[in-house]
Amino acid sequence: MRFRIYRFDPEKDRKPYFADYELEPHPSDRKVLDALTRLKEQDDSIAYRRSCREGVCGSDAMNINGRNMLACITPLEGLREPVTLAPLPGFPVIRDLVVDMTQFFAHYHATQPWLQNGEPPPERERLQSPAEREKLDGLYECILCACCSGFCPSYWWNPDKFLGPAALLQAERFVADSRDRAGAERLEALDDVYKLYRCRTIMNCTEVCPKGLSPARAIERIKLALLRRSA
Amino acid sequence: MRIFSGQQAFVLQRLSALVLLAFTAAAALRLGFGAPVSLEQWQAWAAQPAAAALLLLLAAALLVHAWVGTRDVVLDYVHPLLLRLSILSLVGVALALLGAWTAFVLVTHAL
């Protein structure tokens, strides 16, 4: 198989370039990450992140043939050649396929992604009805791989101000939680022309989410909650 | 609703879109299935106060929609503050003049 890999080492290269590689995949190589691991045996200077190798940690998010995906769960079979691997678009590149996630996680932290409830804790746990619990489906599964934010034009244009689909999905996860008591403060903090309303419902986030989630729907729910609050 | 929160623009964009959608559907039905009408007949129709009010609503929706859309594009792409203010001012003045002229034509025609 033929591969084209984005290469950039700020200590050596003046500007990024694409390097071509040939690889005869081993019969057991099924995913892009398997191929990357073999390519690194050829050229150990290739830099990329990976950890769990099974689509849970979100470390190996990258742009594969123009689409943000997790290398560990993207099958090699059927990929157009040369398979082009590039870092997540819109993110500052540290080296090769490794991007700087500082801003991304700063936005995530800004949403205060933890349960806030000042009421005295019950003896066992804070209970939810099945219907209340169901509201969290499609929200709690996010692995923060950044495939969505890295495919969102609104995030490319204002990465420092727009929270991006991943952080907003996490925000909705706590706004929608019946056990949380900070919903009003959370909505107040989100009610901002940049933080939330830069979303133009382009829906690239929903299109590329490797977990099949819909950040676009979560963002619409936040907007509707704000509307109900204003009404 | 805070004026600069973004929600006002979000709501106005959707409300104006509904007006534009309704008008587009009505216009398509009228032009597609109605009998042909001469310019004088259109002018006579627009001169009725109710029709003029409808057209004023359409013009207002169009201008609001154009303003919010342009503002969004400028907020996304134009980051230098002075350039951003200049473009928004120019667009705002142009749309306001267009609205005033439309209102003048419709009101004077209808009276």
Find the CATH number of the domain harbouring A200.
1.10.1060.10
pLDDT for the residue numbered B4: 62
B77: which chain A residues are within 8 Å (Cβ-Cβ)? 157
Query: B6 vs A191: CB contact, 8 Å cut-off?
Result: yes
Q: What is the CATH number of the domain that holds A11?
A: 3.10.20.30
Residues A109 and A214 occupy one common structural domain: yes
* Terminal alpha carbon distance of chain A: 58
Query: A193 vs B75: CB contact, 8 Å cut-off?
Result: yes
- Of chain A, the percentage scoring pLDDT greater than 90 comes to 97
**Distance from A216 to chain B by nearest Cα, in Å?**
15
A158: which chain B residues are within 8 Å (Cβ-Cβ)? 75-76
Residues A29 and A115 occupy one common structural domain: no
A230: which chain B residues are within 8 Å (Cβ-Cβ)? 1, 7
Query: A230 vs B7: CB contact, 8 Å cut-off?
Result: yes
Q: B52 is written with which tokens? A: 């003029």
**Domain limits of chain B?**
7-110
* Terminal alpha carbon distance of chain B: 37
Residues A30 and A79 occupy one common structural domain: yes
Predicted confidence (pLDDT) at residue B1 exceeds the cutoff of 60: no
Residues A16 and A49 occupy one common structural domain: yes
Q: Which residues of A fall below an 8 Å CB-CB distance to B?
A: 154, 157-158, 191-194, 196-198, 200, 223, 226-227, 230
Mean pLDDT (whole number) for A41-54 = 95
Among A72, A19, A15, smallest CA distance to A45 is for A19
Predicted confidence (pLDDT) at residue B5 exceeds the cutoff of 80: no
Residues A193 and A224 occupy one common structural domain: yes
The answer to whether A61 and A55 are in contact (CB under 8 A) is: no
Nearest to B10 among A154, A157, A223 (CB): A223
The answer to whether A3 and A83 are in contact (CB under 8 A) is: yes
Predicted confidence (pLDDT) at residue B3 exceeds the cutoff of 70: no
What is the C-alpha separation between B72 and B67, in angstroms, rounded? 8
Query: B1 vs A230: CB contact, 8 Å cut-off?
Result: yes
ipTM tops 0.90: no
Fill in the amino acid letter for A63.
Answer: N
Residues A147 and A74 occupy one common structural domain: no
Residues A160 and A224 occupy one common structural domain: yes
What is the C-alpha separation between A158 and A124, in angstroms, rounded? 44
Name the 3-class secondary structure at A199: coil
Contacts of A138 (CB under 8 A, 6+ apart): A213, A214, A217, A218
Query: B7 vs A157: CB contact, 8 Å cut-off?
Result: no
pLDDT for the residue numbered A230: 86
Residues A108 and A204 occupy one common structural domain: yes
pLDDT (tens digit per residue) in B50-84: 999 999 999 999 999 999 999 999 999 999 999 99
Q: Which residues of B fall below an 8 Å CB-CB distance to A?
A: 1-2, 4-7, 9-11, 72, 75-77
The Cβ of residue B39 has, within 10 Å, a number of other Cβ atoms equal to 7
Mean pLDDT (whole number) for B20-28 = 95
A156: which chain B residues are within 8 Å (Cβ-Cβ)? none
- Domain end point (choices A46, A69, A99): A99
pLDDT band of residue A203 (cuts 50, 70, 90) is: very high
**Distance from A213 to chain B by nearest Cα, in Å?**
24
Nearest to A154 among B9, B10, B76 (CB): B76
pLDDT for the residue numbered A214: 97
Whether omega for the bond prior to residue A10 falls within 30 degrees of 0, making it cis, is no
Number of structural domains (chain A) is 2
B76 → chain A, closest CA residue: A157
Predicted confidence (pLDDT) at residue B2 exceeds the cutoff of 80: no
pTM: 0.89
pLDDT for the residue numbered A10: 93
Residues A80 and A111 occupy one common structural domain: no
- Domain end point (choices A46, A80, A99): A99
- Domain end point (choices A99, A122, A141): A99
B1: which chain A residues are within 8 Å (Cβ-Cβ)? 230
Q: In the Cβ-directed half-sphere of B4, how many Cα atoms lie within 13 Å?
A: 1
Range of the domain at A145: 102-230
Predicted confidence (pLDDT) at residue A28 exceeds the cutoff of 60: yes
Distances (CA, A) of A197 to A192, B4, B23, B68: 7, 11, 27, 12
Residues A67 and A142 occupy one common structural domain: no
Q: Please tell me what DSSP assigns to residue A137.
A: T
Q: Does domain B7-110 have CATH number 3.40.50.1000?
A: no
Residues A136 and A95 occupy one common structural domain: no
Residues A54 and A115 occupy one common structural domain: no
Contacts of B52 (CB under 8 A, 6+ apart): B46, B106, B107, B109, B110
Q: Is A14 exposed, middle or buried (0-12, 13-18, 19+ CB in 10 A)?
A: exposed
Nearest to A196 among B6, B75, B76 (CB): B6
